[in-house]
Amino acid sequence: MRNDTILASKFIENINKQLIEIKKNTKDTQTVDGIQCLMDYIKNYSVTSPSEKETLAENIEKSMKEARRNNSDMETVLYIIHGDLINSRISLEKATLLYQQYLNIAIFNKETP
């Protein structure tokens, strides 16, 4: 996963927090309406675009299905990574690193006879 995507999501989160504070402290109805409009836009954007965690989980699921046919041990490892990611027992970065290691092993296994 790319660091700039993570930074962008944190940036959007911080903007939303600031908008909430401004909305609480402002009595002007036009300003409150404008802030609410921006908050709705942020909410819709967040809901419609899949998170990195969801995307990685989907990729791991696809790899699990492929590994099921070829290597049941790898499928088990991917199942554990997937479960830990979904249940937030490991971070997105750690899950990404483990998944990339799986991909490297899978490529190596295909190249060797």
CA separation for the pair 66, 49 (Å, rounded): 26
Torsion over CA: 39, 22, 35, 26 (sign) = positive
User: Which of 8-12, 32-36, 83-87 shows the lowest mean pLDDT across its residues?
Assistant: 8-12
Distance CA 54, CA 102 (A): 18
* Nearest residue to 111 via CA among 62, 77, 103, 98: 103
Closest to 6 (Cα-Cα) out of 85, 83, 93: 93
Query: What's the whole-model pTM score?
Result: 0.54
Counting residues of the chain whose pLDDT is more than 90, the rounded percentage is 13
Model confidence over 90-111: pLDDT tens digits? 888 899 999 999 888 877 776 6
pLDDT digits (tens, 9 = 90+) for 43-61: 766 654 567 888 888 899 9
Q: What is the pLDDT of residue 112?
A: 59
Q: Decide which of 63 and 1 is more confident.
A: 63
Ranges of H-type helices in the chain: 3-25, 29-48, 52-70, 72-86, 92-111
